[in-house]
Structure 1
């Protein structure tokens, strides 16, 4: 890969959920090459900040576009020297990092932000009475649940309950830990717990999912024809209805309505049918939060864009690997069991299961990028490519999910 010689913005977003597993905010994870590790944005100008915030906090939910706030880390230099960008106070929550030691200078800076009307959060917080003046000025306290056992976590909550703050549990990795934190009184949640499904022994992929996955496999074959695909699609009434609704939606600006699946396939093209079939498979489980669909579509599209750029053959396989990497959470089964049941090529399955081959390498980089695990990315990573692919994939997913409801 070619590495750009100019500094590049590397930014990812991690969702913050409420108790109903609805996204209420994103934490923006940022690193700028060649600049200080905790720089906020490449430019502190209002225009640049607004563009970046809109790119990373604009989402489609239930067919409507909405903005959610951004949690942004600030270090001691930014805090004390007032080098923060001019941004809407409704759009941003400033996170005061855990390594900022309390003192008169820091307290004065926090008081200034509070007076100016900014919402503030304490990051990776462990209670000590020396932080009381800061807690009084903050609206949110983030607690890293991996730092405490159950008894210690309960004690932390009890100590913080005397303040008027919202508790956010971060680094939740399991459903059990999520349940525990809900019972303790946490109101906001952050972590990778959505990729850790509850295992239901003996559960099989539903027939409707199997039909969709078989269709996706057929779409990857070079000799697939509209007529053959039509026969497969017609087996599933819900899929038939949704594909016709999509192709007849306003986004395709058709002069006349499409009346057959074969017509729809010709007009959409095989690549578009494949993407829509995948999306329908993912959204057919209404019990799962919309954010999980969004994450997997962003991941799949980003893998595909990078594969196209690097001229890998069959970039659609990269898209499928990105989506399948978390589809087991949609189906509430173990990933290995899902891969045994779905009819897909070994190159995709090996990439998802073991990170093997070119597909696995791209998938691994994309997952580390979206999680903000910058130290796990290769040193020669094309940061500009990944940044552009990520932004494009966020926008593509927003439009795609919006079209599903039109």
Structure 2
């Protein structure tokens, strides 16, 4: 019989496991003069300790793109991300479409002139790459002239500025920059009306919207698998070799497809092939992505048996489809098999798990409705797993596949999946 402390420990472990598999991101709306949402400032709430570092900046942006459903999180709006000066030099920014992101840059500690000028060089390089910057009111003070020309937004903190200083700052900004002004920490109607009379058109604060939490269930590969990917990239492996690794780990391939199809990546078409994803991303960006995935993952990942079963399903469906379908359809058959256990791996219904995935309709039909061209292949694959002779015979006969063909393909799939762990 379990004791109360044992039960509490069990509950605590359950909650910790749930938290570990969630990306928790707070967002606060920035609204225009008509109270329409202009953009969102994002804050990382996955961590219990309030730390703001280069690593946390990268993790926040990565989680926003990879783990949360980017469409429901920010839709097509601008994303404002707080940065440290260390994170501005981070490789993670190479993974982001600059049109989507505004980097909020703090002033230089101590306002040292030499450091301000040195940082201006990096900021100019990022601006040339398409990034926009938001600075606080310090950029309007003496010493920051080289930054003012780079400002797309200047945020005026109503809690930090004395009321009598707001209008002079607004006038100076309007005369000396082309930046849009954002009044933040606006908490009353009277504040809003006064600021609007000064010509400010963008607002952020509790009077408009308190930060809301967006939680997304995550599925993270084991660090050992990510290390294998990093090593392949560092060795300049071929696309086929990298694709082979992706096909053998459903958690890795799920994260890559979700990331590359996120709105933040900026592609105009949906990528559903692992091979295409690797070619689009390129080795340099793939390395950056894998390194960031490593920092945001923990040891363990999905239960090995579940991942192994998913891999076998994908490979078996691919081999069976090769007897009857085109190469492109075989690729999709693999995706159906490997993603058919996402509900088990994520602990959520399959339709919820697939919400953030851009997948072809025939793949979704097979996974969610058990209809379409891939449905009988999935049913046959599951029959091979369960040993259901009746379903095996019916589906194999419907696909005009002999027992020998199916059994041989199953053996090949099992051997292929087992070779991955050697």
Higher relative contact order (CA 8 A, sep 6+): 1
- State the TM-score, normalizing by the size of structure 2: 0.41
If each structure's helix is expressed as a fraction of its own residues, which one has the higher value?
2
Name the TM-score, length of structure 1 as normaliser: 0.42
